[in-house]
Amino acid sequence: MTDPGVPRDSHDPARPATNLRVLVIGGGIGGLCLAQGLRAEGIDVTVFDRAPSMTTGRQGYGFHINETGDAALSACLPTHLYELYRATASPAATGDFVLFTAGLREILRRPLPAQTVDRPRVGVGVNRQTLREILSAELGDAIRYNSEFRRYDTGPAGRLRAHFADGAGEDADLIVGADGADSAVRGQLVPDAGFDDFGRSIYGRTPLTPALTDRIPPDFLHGMARAKDDRGRTLGAARFTAIEPFPRATARLAPHVRLTATGDYLRWTLSLREEGLVGARRFWGSTGPALQAIAEDLVATWHPGLRAIIDNADAEATYPFGIFCARPVQRWSQPGVTLLGDAIHTMTPGRGEGANTALRDAALLTARLADVAAGRSALSTAIAAYETEMLRYGFEAVENSRRPYFAAPMKPRG
């Protein structure tokens, strides 16, 4: 495999193909990045996703790509798609980390964490839908939607078989569970895996107009700002404004790629501690507009500049979310089945590392499987090496996410 960090050109068709057949369960950030990497290595890969089409789902609207995630994308994507992801991303936050009261009194101001400011060229914000569209570009029928994985077993000839909800079955040498925090693959492979509950949030997205931008406190538009009240509610927000308009970027770099248009927006998270509310049916069962109304109620006495973020949100795009953190697991012993991303090491968004770690897994697994394809390694040796390394750094990241940046001042009083 090409050195991580060095963009390279598309798959060389002259390269010898291999008989290895890999099924990736889950076409999220990690699964699609893996598929790009394997395809470039000439490895037969098919991605199965239960969703009917490429949708954002309820996973947040965007996130920060750090140096680790960027290196993985550079290693797995052909150069023109890597450049397209960079062009359609948003510049990283440039301001400070600032903590305010609900009345917008400044409690604390600190420089942003080093991972954001030390590498300003590397760190970018991405719109999740856009990144997924780029990651799925050129994969063609190697992605199958409406394919909900149910279970795997070993057939009479000793080959692994994945079974899907529609009754279909697919044989493989390797099944990769990249099916996110509720992973069905993990449910069968590591049934005792445990999780800690880190609370509930309401997620939203507020389209930015010049008039609204004038009303929102500047630190919420340019830095990493949070506001908290005495009842433990916390509002955080981050802006998405693409570096280059999508039509210009695709025309310049990849005219065949279609990207869904996305205007400037602020994505926000209202984190809650109200046990009564978050356990209630009206929280989990609410439609977007009803949930936005709940969020408006919760911040009704807050500063008008903060209320403006929630009052002007896209109501349909508001949804509830539970945050869970995986407990460490030992390596499993099922040959030919492995896990990647949130399926094994789901973590809190506290340090913004979940997607970046999923991308790192994808690049690492690509490199190990490239060794198999080139005859340098047996499949079992390659998977053992991947799992040992992935479990080490993956659960380090999980542990770090239990202590978000600036955790102490974020704690509610009393």
Ligand X SMILES: Cc1cc2nc3c(=O)[nH]c(=O)nc-3n(C[C@H](O)[C@H](O)[C@H](O)COP(=O)(O)OP(=O)(O)OC[C@H]3O[C@@H](n4cnc5c(N)ncnc54)[C@H](O)[C@@H]3O)c2cc1C
Region of 188-196, 255-263, 288-296, 351-359 interacting with ligand X (CB under 6 A) = 351-359
Taking CB under 6 A as the criterion, which residues in 126-155 touch ligand X?
148-149
Nearer to ligand X (CB atom), residue 72 or residue 259: 72
Taking CB under 6 A as the criterion, which residues in 236-275 touch ligand X?
269
Which position among 18, 20, 27, 372 is part of the footprint of ligand X (CB under 6 A)?
A: 27
60: contact with ligand X by CB under 6 A: yes
**Cβ contact 240:90 at 8 Å:** yes
Span between the terminal Cα atoms of the chain, in Å: 53
In the complex, which residue's CB is closest to ligand X?
28
Distance CA 192, CA 4 (A): 34
356: contact with ligand X by CB under 6 A: yes
For residues 169, 173, 174, 179, the Cα torsion angle rounded to the nearest 10 degrees is -10
Determine the residue type at 371.
Answer: D
Please enumerate in sequence order all residues whose Cβ is within 8 A of that of 83, keeping only pairs 6 or more positions apart, or say none.
7, 253
Nearer to ligand X (CB atom), residue 205 or residue 253: 205
Region of 51-59, 72-80, 207-215, 398-406 interacting with ligand X (CB under 6 A) = 51-59
349: contact with ligand X by CB under 6 A: yes
Which position among 122, 134, 178, 410 is part of the footprint of ligand X (CB under 6 A)?
A: 178
Closest approach, Cβ 160 to ligand X, in A, equals 16
Sheet with 174-177: strands ordered across: 143-144, 44-48, 21-25, 174-177, 337-339
Region of 70-78, 211-219, 284-292, 349-357 interacting with ligand X (CB under 6 A) = 349-357
29: contact with ligand X by CB under 6 A: yes
Distance CA 362, CA 359 (A): 5
Nearer to ligand X (CB atom), residue 18 or residue 394: 394
x/- site string to ligand X, residues 310 to 329, per CB under 6 A? Answer: -----------x--------
Q: Tokens 């507009």 label which residue?
A: 289
Using CA atoms, how far residue 263 sits from 76, 208, 241, 242, in Å, is 28, 8, 7, 8
**Cβ contact 135:33 at 8 Å:** yes
Strand pairing class (174-177; 195-207): unpaired
**Cβ contact 333:208 at 8 Å:** no
Determine the residue type at 196.
Answer: D
- Residue 5's CB is within 10 A of a number of other CB atoms, namely 13
Which position among 41, 133, 170, 179 is part of the footprint of ligand X (CB under 6 A)?
A: 179
Which position among 237, 358, 364, 382 is part of the footprint of ligand X (CB under 6 A)?
A: 358
125 φ/ψ angles, rounded to the nearest 5 degrees: -100, 140
Which position among 4, 217, 320, 352 is part of the footprint of ligand X (CB under 6 A)?
A: 352
Which residues of the chain form contacts with ligand X (CB under 6 A)? 25-31, 48-51, 57, 59-60, 63-64, 148-149, 178-180, 184, 203, 269, 321, 341-343, 349, 352-356, 358
